[in-house]
């Protein structure tokens, strides 16, 4: 099962790396939750998750993910990233992010993203 979860991680990350909200939501369960823990309410369901992902890409159109650490279990993964890019306002983005993802029936059930909010606000400001 850990192999299947690792393969899901790889496919899911490719969607984010390609900045493709439609492909991202295809890998979520219908009742999935995406929560960017930076003061926002969780996005619930595929339509809301697609909107949240598209919003992220609008803020940082050239968003790039640099893998720091990954741990995969049978029904979860935990990953540490460094995000880089240029914000829509022209500021340089360099932010730490950790994702905790729960998997159910081969799809993303919950994605909790913990971002360095101070660094993100400074970059987007």
| Predicted pLDDT of residue 104 | 97
Residue 11: partners with Cβ closer than 8 Å, 6 or more residues away: 27
Mean pLDDT of 18-39: 96
| Residue 88 per-residue DSSP state | T
* pTM of this prediction exceeds 0.85: yes
1 has a pLDDT exceeding 90: no
* 37 vs 51: CA distance, rounded Å: 16
At 69-107, the pLDDT tens digits run 999 999 999 999 999 999 999 999 999 999 999 999 999
Mean pLDDT of 11-20: 97
């Amino acid at each position: 099962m850990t192999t299947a979860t690792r393969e899901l991680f790889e496919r899911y990350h490719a969607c984010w790396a390609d900045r493709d909200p439609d492909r991202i939501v295809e890998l979520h369960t219908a009742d999935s939750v995406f929560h960017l823990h930076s003061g926002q309410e969780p996005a619930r369901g595929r339509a809301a998750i697609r909107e949240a992902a598209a919003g992220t890409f609008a803020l940082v159109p050239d968003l790039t993910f640099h893998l720091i650490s990954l741990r995969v279990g049978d029904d979860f993964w935990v990953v540490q990233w460094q995000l880089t890019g240029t914000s829509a306002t022209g500021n340089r983005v360099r932010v730490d992010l950790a994702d905790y993802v729960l998997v159910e029936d081969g799809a993303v059930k919950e994605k909790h993203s913990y971002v360095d909010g101070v660094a993100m606000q400074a970059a987007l400001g």
